[in-house]
């Protein structure tokens, strides 16, 4: 009877780095890995580059097919998890197989959330962008579609919009709130991006939401407030994600929006870990555990989980801050930290032209940098991130009505990495 | 995840590594972008006749394989698109960009026939022969001038290097320099070798790490400031007052070398009496340096045996009271018995082209091909008679005045090598004057604003494209070889001179025999020959060259009229000037011109070194301009705040004479009340803010380093 | 594996930027915004006791390189023999994740893909020294296996080894 070893549920960034870390730490026991998809690990970050024709399909699988052989992993691919039994430490797969474990990592990621709009899900004419399969489906759709309604104002919504526009598809972008990128962008930055997207031919509808939808064979009729009707070929649903935990029973492990873990990636039940988009890690800006949805962060979390599962006692993950950088047409937009701080001691410094030297927006709270938006101005942006982490003091520059130049802010952080 | 590829021929070229089969060869030359005290050895990586990379020459004893940012940017210098490609003749108006290419033969024909004609009409002295930078062609240029019959050879040394030595020579008959490795204490007076001379920078770095005590004098914060034990931050232009304050402590506390003073000096009584008028409190009041620091520094310098005094080439003499200040501060050397002793200020024999290594050449004899009395008086003979007595060239600051006045004789033509009219104070005045010449020739690498004033431009080679004799102050000599062919139709300056001299001074057979013959002639007393040096293209280490002994004055006295160190200079007296250096304020200062100071409440100092620029030479190099893209005025954060200035804000920097638009750079480089502006920018020429006669009365050096100005924020 | 690192003596650095330019020359970079090495200035204090120091920084070839971790395409890797962090520009899609990850500002972009200091590994492989180290006029910049540099630090307090991310962790 084989010694039950490590079980990895999922095949994304967190899962791969957990396997890699466990083996590097000297773990020699059995590692089983389960995934509902076939094939090597897929990086969803790369599908827009594929769909824009920048990379070939095989480059969306950066770890390669021989990763599992090299790391001595037994693969159970193509079958989702049916049930988890944390008391007896085993899982049941949909294909009927049982796998026992000593330590199990839940790294099943998140999936696109479809809002409960009447007619939406049943129409058969919606698509999302998250998995390899969905990327291939979008590719098919683009080849015939003329007009698509995109629901949502997230990064994914904008990436899908860009892919569609680049292929000459008309897009209506339906945004529920007053500006796009409600979480990531300060309103000032959002307006610049909205204007830019409009110039690329995107029809942006702010403070708008889909009331209902009828499909009619080769298309859909969308109903909006104020009796507005729009026809389209498909609807792209980019309104958010939910963790892929359908195999968990309510109350089985502690959850909020997603699975709650400590700094060692341990869940509330012995022998269970969680990492990546399925869990809530520490957001250093708020001090709370949140679903952050970042590839790099998922990888680090996976590594820490893997080390702990392999018996390394002092591996901890200290949390991270919201951060991303995304290309949109000829622009690059990025965000660090929290740009939505309000209060007596908050100062906002902003300037620059996105088309010339680049646009920046810095949010200071009590003299400390807490949030950043950048458009086309990324030289040394990692130093800005470091400044947020290290709570670098800018109070002499940003207090008292004295308005520092961009160069003076950057001057201050040029030394901080030491 | 291993990423190392197998080596292919393409891979060999990656990293520009000169492996076998790569086609890359390392050839040796020198960089001559800055002054002869540097001229770092260069390893040029050459492939298919093109330099693809440069590095330093490790075996070069002077530069030790290192380079500064400018030398490292050599490729963007030698291959710059501004390089003049063919001889050019002016077609349009003077100063326009309208030139037509002509052949070398035609160019030399036009030049020689014009010069010969002017000589026959108004005498050879109405033709000036000027050397800017680089300096390598000076001995041949001076010789050609005199062989042609003109006394008027002059150079960029009219604003650099000479005055510092002249000031010392008025006192000691010779100039001396510190020996950092042997000193127990170094007083570094207005010198920043970290941006001007990497060999000295290395020497200083070593002594700093050894723990030698450093006294720094100067208004600015430098790299040295964090290592200096004492930093005397004087108000610009007050070095003389500080020197008097130091001397006051040294004499009053009996810390001076009585034996030396008694036996080997003249005028000590008059000097001492004057020094007594400057107790530390008075020196402190004038200079702004606290009394306790003056006392501490004086005691440290005077009681460290031995101690060296290092001065920069120019900061102490770029003042309207420069020579006086410099005589006062260098007097401290002899006062404390540190003259020409080991570890003190040592006197070297002149070598070749401003570098001394113990070998003595016939450079002066070679270039003075006609005695002064056989030629007309020089330009500046009556305005700067001490200069003309002491120096074998004219003081070029007087050129625009004599062009304008035509007295005592007209100036009608100029043959220039590397001319930059912005070097003159009131540079617009010099530009206007040059336009009045009948004939102007400029030999240049680049199409500069000064070249555009010329009638004929001749394209010169860079150091990479020619051979030259290079002496270092370390025991190292090179006869360089070209590492690439001359670009386009450029030619080495010395070959241009030889060709021209054959036409305008045909009786000079030595010059006519060619560049190498001249070099061999000058080298003769050293025992070295070009034939020998040619075997060592990377450089020839000198072995066992006897160095001049210390205390040379003990054998035959000082080379002064009195045979002694002269606190009171007989030469100055001979010319009706005060023999004793008496401190006066700069012509523009808070004390000397308080009315002007009311509206111009900042002291302006110009020309402090930036590491990526040397004068105007490297603005056209994108790698270097990118390190500091805009002309900026350095202003203390307090003064900046008072004017509502942030980093990069546009400002007007103005004096009674003029204004320039630059950007603000708030920095602790400068003390409150002082601003610093780099010079030579075509778009923001600070020399237009200075009067053309803002000169030291003895040396003629411009007062670049102490003026009054104001800085105001510009609204967009 | 003998991890290579740069050593830097802040007491010797004059801010002359020879290192920056020799790197531009070595790698045929345009300069200005795109530069593998940067020198920045630190001013401390005020008149009369202000001090100005300089720092020369390039990629530190971190033991646990964050750029490597966050790169979605696997374009960034570490050499087995000396830990030099290199980028395969053919695999880079220009996503800029590494720019956000690097606290030293090392990744640069040219022609849409990332490029940065590669420790002049082609020169090192042939027994030469990195371009920046070779030109430094005051020998403030050095390099070598990190164990040897650590020994040198003990002798001289001012030699800083930038090993803030050289943690023992999985590659």
pLDDT tens for A63-119 read 999 999 999 999 999 999 999 999 999 999 999 999 999 999 999 999 999 999 999
Interface subset of A 343-402, CB within 8 angstroms of B:
402
Same domain, B132 and B208: no
CA distance B667 to chain A (A): 11
Residues in chain C whose Cβ is within 8 Å of chain A: 33, 38, 40-42, 55, 57, 66, 69-70, 72-74, 91, 93-97, 99-105, 107, 160, 162, 164, 169-171
- Place A415 in a pLDDT band, splitting at 50, 70 and 90: low
Tokens linked to A175: 């945004």
Range of the domain at B446: 88-160+354-462+490-508
Name every chain B residue with its beta carbon within 8 A of the beta carbon of C134: 55-56, 65-66
Distance CA B474, CA C169 (A): 50
C143 against C162, higher pLDDT: C143
Instruction: Note whether residue B536 is domain-resident.
Output: no
Q: Which residues contact B613 (CB under 8 A, 6 or more apart)?
A: B70, B619, B624, B628, B678, B680
Same domain, B335 and B375: no
Name every chain C residue with its beta carbon within 8 A of the beta carbon of B293: none
Q: How many residues does chain B have?
A: 716
- What does the pLDDT read at residue B634? 98
CB contact at 8 A, A387 and A355:
no
Size of interface B-C (CB pairs under 8 A): 153
Q: Which residues contact B199 (CB under 8 A, 6 or more apart)?
A: B37, B38, B62, B63, B64, B473, B474
Please name the chains neighbouring C, where neighbouring means 3+ C-beta pairs under 8 angstroms.
A, B
Same domain, B155 and B257: no
Q: CB contact, 8 Å: C69 with chain B? A: no
Please compute the mean of the pLDDT values over residues A204-216 and round it to a whole number.
93
CB neighbours of residue B406 within 10 Å: 12
| Predicted TM-score of the model (pTM) | 0.93
Same domain, B279 and B423: no
| Domain termination residue (choose one: B294, B326, B346) | B346
- What does the pLDDT read at residue A418? 42
Mean per-residue pLDDT pooled into runs of 10, chain B (716 residues): 45 81 95 96 96 97 97 98 98 90 98 98 98 97 98 98 97 97 97 95 95 97 95 98 98 98 98 98 98 98 98 96 98 98 95 94 98 98 97 98 97 98 98 98 98 98 98 95 98 98 98 97 96 94 93 97 98 97 98 98 97 97 95 97 92 98 96 98 98 98 98 90
Q: CB contact, 8 Å: B14 with chain C? A: yes
Q: CB contact, 8 Å: B47 with chain C? A: no
Tokens linked to B644: 């509502």
Same domain, B230 and B145: no
Same domain, B204 and B302: yes
- Place A314 in a pLDDT band, splitting at 50, 70 and 90: confident
Same domain, B639 and B703: yes
- What does the pLDDT read at residue A218? 86
Q: CB contact, 8 Å: B203 with chain C? A: no
The enclosing domain of B65 has a CATH number of 3.30.200.210
**Among B201, B222, B672, beta carbon nearest to C47:** B672
Same domain, B198 and B328: yes
Listed range (A383-387, C35-39, C77-81, C160-164) with the worst mean pLDDT: C160-164
Q: CB contact, 8 Å: C126 with chain B? A: yes
Candidates C12, C16, C28: best to mutate against B (most CBs of B within 10 A) is C16
- What does the pLDDT read at residue B715? 83
Instruction: Note whether residue B123 is domain-resident.
Output: yes
Q: CB contact, 8 Å: A404 with chain B? A: yes
ipTM of the complex: 0.94
Name every chain A residue with its beta carbon within 8 A of the beta carbon of B648: 405, 407
Nearest Cα residue to A306 out of A21, A73, A64, A97: A21
CB contact at 8 A, A328 and A48:
no
Does the pLDDT at position C168 exceed 60?
Answer: no
CA A310 to each of CA A20, A24, A63, A274, C159: distance values in angstroms, whole numbers, following the listed order: 11, 9, 21, 14, 37
Instruction: Test B646 with A411 for CB contact under 8 angstroms.
Output: no
Work out whether strand C38-44 and strand A170-174 pair parallel, antiparallel, or are unpaired: unpaired
**Among A307, A332, A382, beta carbon nearest to C102:** A382
C45 against B563, higher pLDDT: B563
CB contact at 8 A, B646 and A398:
no
Distance CA A346, CA A363 (A): 7
State CA B351 to chain mean position distance.
17
Instruction: Note whether residue B525 is domain-resident.
Output: no
Residues in chain A whose Cβ is within 8 Å of chain C: 20-21, 24-25, 43, 45-46, 49, 54-55, 59, 62-63, 295-296, 299-300, 303, 307, 323-325, 327, 332, 334, 336, 378-383, 385-386, 411, 414-418
Name every chain C residue with its beta carbon within 8 A of the beta carbon of B202: 137-139
Same domain, B379 and B441: yes
Distance CA A264, CA A272 (A): 11
Same domain, B243 and B199: yes
- Place A400 in a pLDDT band, splitting at 50, 70 and 90: low
CA A61 to each of CA A57, A66, B44, B184, B587: distance values in angstroms, whole numbers, following the listed order: 8, 11, 45, 67, 76
**Among B1, B55, B205, beta carbon nearest to C131:** B55
| Domain termination residue (choose one: B28, B60, B78) | B78
Q: Which residue of A has its CA nearest to C110?
A: A379
Tokens linked to B139: 């001995």
Structurally, at CATH architecture level, domain C4-161 sits in 2-Layer Sandwich (3.30)
State CA B425 to chain mean position distance.
16
CA distance B636 to chain C (A): 9
How confident is the prediction for chain A on average, in pLDDT?
93
CA distance A83 to chain C (A): 31
- What does the pLDDT read at residue B7? 46
Name every chain C residue with its beta carbon within 8 A of the beta carbon of A415: 40, 42, 55
Q: Which residue of C has its CA nearest to B672?
A: C47
Q: Which residue of C has its CA nearest to B11?
A: C122
- What does the pLDDT read at residue A397? 83
**Among C103, C162, C164, beta carbon nearest to A383:** C103
- What does the pLDDT read at residue B6? 44
CB-side exposure of B405: number of CA atoms within 13 Å?
10
Name every chain A residue with its beta carbon within 8 A of the beta carbon of C102: 382
Instruction: Note whether residue B583 is domain-resident.
Output: no
Please name the chains neighbouring B, where neighbouring means 3+ C-beta pairs under 8 angstroms.
A, C
Instruction: Note whether residue B184 is domain-resident.
Output: yes
Name every chain C residue with its beta carbon within 8 A of the beta carbon of A49: 93, 95
Q: How many residues does chain A have?
A: 418
Size of interface A-B (CB pairs under 8 A): 14
CA distance A416 to chain B (A): 19
- What does the pLDDT read at residue C163? 36
Name every chain B residue with its beta carbon within 8 A of the beta carbon of A403: 646
Q: Which residue of B has its CA nearest to A402?
A: B644
Name every chain A residue with its beta carbon within 8 A of the beta carbon of B647: 404-405, 407-408, 411
Same domain, B407 and B503: yes
What residue ranges do the domains of chain C occupy? 4-161
Instruction: Note whether residue B563 is domain-resident.
Output: no
Name every chain C residue with its beta carbon within 8 A of the beta carbon of B231: 48
| Domain termination residue (choose one: B58, B78, B98) | B78
- What does the pLDDT read at residue A378? 93
**Among A20, A62, A380, beta carbon nearest to C170:** A20
Please compute the mean of the pLDDT values over residues A368-396 and round it to a whole number.
92
- What does the pLDDT read at residue C156? 59
Same domain, B130 and B198: no
Does the pLDDT at position C166 exceed 70?
Answer: no
Name every chain A residue with its beta carbon within 8 A of the beta carbon of C73: 43, 46, 55, 59, 62
Does the pLDDT at position C155 exceed 70?
Answer: no
Digit-coded pLDDT (tens) for B311-349:
999 999 999 999 999 999 999 999 999 999 999 999 998
3-state class percentages of chain C: helix first, strand second, coil last, to nearest 5: 25, 25, 50
Q: Which residue of B has its CA nearest to A406?
A: B647
Name every chain B residue with its beta carbon within 8 A of the beta carbon of C82: none
How confident is the prediction for chain C on average, in pLDDT?
87
Query: How many separate domains does chain B show?
Result: 4
Q: CB contact, 8 Å: A411 with chain B? A: yes
Candidates C30, C107, C114, C169: best to mutate against A (most CBs of A within 10 A) is C169
**Among C42, C70, C93, beta carbon nearest to A296:** C70
CA distance B208 to chain A (A): 25
Does the pLDDT at position A1 exceed 50?
Answer: no
Q: Which residue of C has its CA nearest to B45?
A: C26
Instruction: Note whether residue B515 is domain-resident.
Output: no
The enclosing domain of B280 has a CATH number of 3.40.228.10
Instruction: Note whether residue B97 is domain-resident.
Output: yes
Q: CB contact, 8 Å: B59 with chain C? A: no
Name every chain B residue with its beta carbon within 8 A of the beta carbon of C79: 2-4
Please compute the mean of the pLDDT values over residues A341-367 and round it to a whole number.
94
- What does the pLDDT read at residue A15? 97
Look up residue B346 and give its DSSP letter.
E
Domains and CATH numbers, chain A: 6-111+241-309 (3.50.50.60), 121-237 (3.50.50.60), 324-413 (3.30.390.30)
């Amino acid at each position: 009877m084989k010694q039950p070893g490590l079980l990895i549920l999922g095949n994304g960034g967190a899962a791969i780095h957990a396997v890699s870390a466990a083996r590097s730490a000297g773990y020699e026991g059995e590692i089983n890995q389960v995934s509902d998809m076939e094939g090597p690990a897929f990086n969803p970050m790369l599908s827009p580059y594929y769909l824009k024709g920048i990379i070939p399909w095989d480059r969306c699988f950066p770890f390669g097919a021989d990763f599992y052989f090299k790391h001595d992993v037994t693969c159970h691919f193509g079958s989702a998890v049916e049930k988890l039994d944390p008391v007896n430490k085993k899982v049941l797969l949909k294909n009927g197989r049982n796998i026992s474990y000593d330590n199990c990592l839940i790294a099943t990621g998140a999936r696109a959330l479809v809002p409960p709009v009447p007619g939406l899900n049943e129409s058969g004419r919606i698509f999302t962008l998250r998995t390899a399969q969905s990327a291939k489906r979008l590719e098919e759709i683009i080849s015939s579609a003329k007009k698509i309604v995109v629901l949502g104002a997230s990064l994914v919504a904008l990436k899908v919009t860009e892919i569609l526009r680049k292929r000459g598809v008309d897009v209506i972008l339906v945004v529920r709130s007053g500006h796009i990128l409600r979480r990531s962008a300060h309103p000032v930055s959002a307006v610049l991006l909205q204007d830019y997207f409009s110039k690329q031919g995107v029809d942006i509808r702010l403070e708008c939401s889909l009331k209902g939808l009828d499909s009619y064979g080769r298309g859909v009729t969308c109903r909006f407030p104020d009796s507005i009707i729009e026809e389209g070929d498909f609807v792209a649903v980019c309104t958010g994600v939910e963790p892929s935990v359908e195999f968990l029973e309510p109350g089985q492990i502690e959850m909020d929006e997603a699975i709650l873990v400590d700094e060692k990636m341990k869940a509330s039940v012995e022998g269970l870990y969680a990492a990546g988009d399925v869990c809530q890690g520490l957001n250093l800006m708020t001090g709370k555990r949140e679903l952050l949805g970042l590839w790099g962060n998922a990888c680090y979390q996976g590594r820490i989980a893997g080390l702990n599962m392999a018996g390394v006692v002092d591996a901890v993950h200290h949390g991270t801050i919201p951060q991303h950088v995304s290309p949109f047409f000829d622009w690059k937009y990025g965000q660090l930290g929290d740009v939505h701080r309000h209060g007596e001691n908050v100062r906002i410094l902003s300037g620059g032209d996105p088309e010339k030297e680049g646009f920046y927006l810095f949010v200071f709270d009590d003299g400390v940098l807490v949030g950043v938006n950048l458009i086309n101005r990324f030289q040394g942006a990692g130093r800005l991130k470091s400044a947020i982490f290290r709570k670098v003091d800018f109070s002499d520059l940003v207090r008292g009505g004295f308005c520092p130049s961009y160069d003076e802010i950057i001057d201050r952080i040029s030394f901080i990495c030491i | 995840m291993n990423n190392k590829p197998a080596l292919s021929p393409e891979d060999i070229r990656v990293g520009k590594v000169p492996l076998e089969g790569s086609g890359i060869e390392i050839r040796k030359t020198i960089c001559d972008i800055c002054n002869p005290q540097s001229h770092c050895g260069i390893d040029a990586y050459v492939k298919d006749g093109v330099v693809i990379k440069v590095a330093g020459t490790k075996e070069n004893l002077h530069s030790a394989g290192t380079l500064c940012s400018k030398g490292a940017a050599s490729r963007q210098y030698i291959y710059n698109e501004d390089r003049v490609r063919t001889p050019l003749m002016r077609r349009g108006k003077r100063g326009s960009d309208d030139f037509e290419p002509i052949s070398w033969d035609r160019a030399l024909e036009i030049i020689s026939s014009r010069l010969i004609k002017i000589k026959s009409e108004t005498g050879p002295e109405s033709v000036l022969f000027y050397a800017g930078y680089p300096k390598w062609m000076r001995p041949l240029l001076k010789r050609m001038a005199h062989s042609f019959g003109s006394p008027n050879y002059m150079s960029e040394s009219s604003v650099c290097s000479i005055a510092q030595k002249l000031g010392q020579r008025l006192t000691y008959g010779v100039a001396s320099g510190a020996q950092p490795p042997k000193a127990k204490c170094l007083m570094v007076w207005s010198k920043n070798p970290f941006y001007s001379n990497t060999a000295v920078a290395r020497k200083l770095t070593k002594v700093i790490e050894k723990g030698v005590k450093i006294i720094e004098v100067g208004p600015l914060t430098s790299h040295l400031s964090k290592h200096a034990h004492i930093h005397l931050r004087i108000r610009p232009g007050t070095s003389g007052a500080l020197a008097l304050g130091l001397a006051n402590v040294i004499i009053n506390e009996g810390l001076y070398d009585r034996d030396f003073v008694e036996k080997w000096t003249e005028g000590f009584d008059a000097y001492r009496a004057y020094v007594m008028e400057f107790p530390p409190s008075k020196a402190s009041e004038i200079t702004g340096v606290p009394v306790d620091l003056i006392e501490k520094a004086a005691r440290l310098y005077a009681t460290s045996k031995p101690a060296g005094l290092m001065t920069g080439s120019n900061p102490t003499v770029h003042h309207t009271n420069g020579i006086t200040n410099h005589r006062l501060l260098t007097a401290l050397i002899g006062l404390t018995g540190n003259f020409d002793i080991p570890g003190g200020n040592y006197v070297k024999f002149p070598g070749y082209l401003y570098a001394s290594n113990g070998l003595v050449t016939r450079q002066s004899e070679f270039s003075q091909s006609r005695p002064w009395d056989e030629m007309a008086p020089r330009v500046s003979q009556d305005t700067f008679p001490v200069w003309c007595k002491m120096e074998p060239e004219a003081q070029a600051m007087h050129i625009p005045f004599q062009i304008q006045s035509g007295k005592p004789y007209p100036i009608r033509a100029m043959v220039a090598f590397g001319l930059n009219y912005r070097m003159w104070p009131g540079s617009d005045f010099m530009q206007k004057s040059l336009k009045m010449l009948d004939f102007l020739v400029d030999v240049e690498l680049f199409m500069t604003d000064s070249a555009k004033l010329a009638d004929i431009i001749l394209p010169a080679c860079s150091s990479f494209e020619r051979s030259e004799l290079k002496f270092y102050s370390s025991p190292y000599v090179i006869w360089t070889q070209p590492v690439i062919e001359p670009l386009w139709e450029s030619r080495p300056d010395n070959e241009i001179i030889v060709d021209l001299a054959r036409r305008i001074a045909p009786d000079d057979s030595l010059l006519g025999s060619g560049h190498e013959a001249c070099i061999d002639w000058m080298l003769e007393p050293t025992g070295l020959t070009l034939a020998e040096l040619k075997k060592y293209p990377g450089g020839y280490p000198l072995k066992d060259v006897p160095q001049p002994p210390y205390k040379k004055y003990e054998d035959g006295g000082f080379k002064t009229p009195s045979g002694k160190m002269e606190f009171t200079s007989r030469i100055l007296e001979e010319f009706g000037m005060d023999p004793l250096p008496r401190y006066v304020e700069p012509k523009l200062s808070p004390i000397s011109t308080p009315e002007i100071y009311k509206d111009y409440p900042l002291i302006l100092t110009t020309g402090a070194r930036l590491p990526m620029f040397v004068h105007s030479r490297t603005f056209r190099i994108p790698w270097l301009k990118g390190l500091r893209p805009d002309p900026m005025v350095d202003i203390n954060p307090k003064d900046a705040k008072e004017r509502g200035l942030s980093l990069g804000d546009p400002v007007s920097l103005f004096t009674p004479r003029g204004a320039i638009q630059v950007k603000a750079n708030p920095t602790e480089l400068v003390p409150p009340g002082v601003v610093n502006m780099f010079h030579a920018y075509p778009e923001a020429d600070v020399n237009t803010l200075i009067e053309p006669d803002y000169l030291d009365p003895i040396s003629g050096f411009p007062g670049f380093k102490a003026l009054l100005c104001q800085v105001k924020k510009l609204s967009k | 594996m003998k991890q290579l690192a740069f050593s830097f003596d802040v007491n010797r650095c004059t801010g002359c930027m020879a290192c920056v330019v020799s790197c531009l020359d070595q790698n045929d970079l345009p300069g200005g915004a795109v530069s593998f090495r940067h020198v920045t200035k630190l001013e401390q204090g005020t008149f009369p006791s202000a001090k100005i120091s300089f720092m020369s920084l390039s990629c530190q070839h971190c033991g646990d390189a964050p750029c490597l971790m966050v790169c979605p395409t696997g374009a960034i890797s570490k050499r087995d023999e000396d830990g030099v962090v290199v980028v395969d520009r053919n695999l880079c899609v220009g996503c800029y994740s590494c720019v956000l990850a690097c606290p030293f500002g090392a990744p640069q972009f040219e022609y849409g893909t990332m490029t940065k200091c590669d420790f002049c590994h082609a020169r090192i492989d042939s027994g030469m020294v990195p371009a920046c180290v070779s030109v430094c006029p005051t020998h403030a910049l050095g390099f070598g296996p990190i164990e040897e540099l650590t020994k040198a630090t003990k002798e001289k307090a001012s030699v800083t080894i930038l090993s803030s991310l050289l943690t023992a962790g999985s590659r």
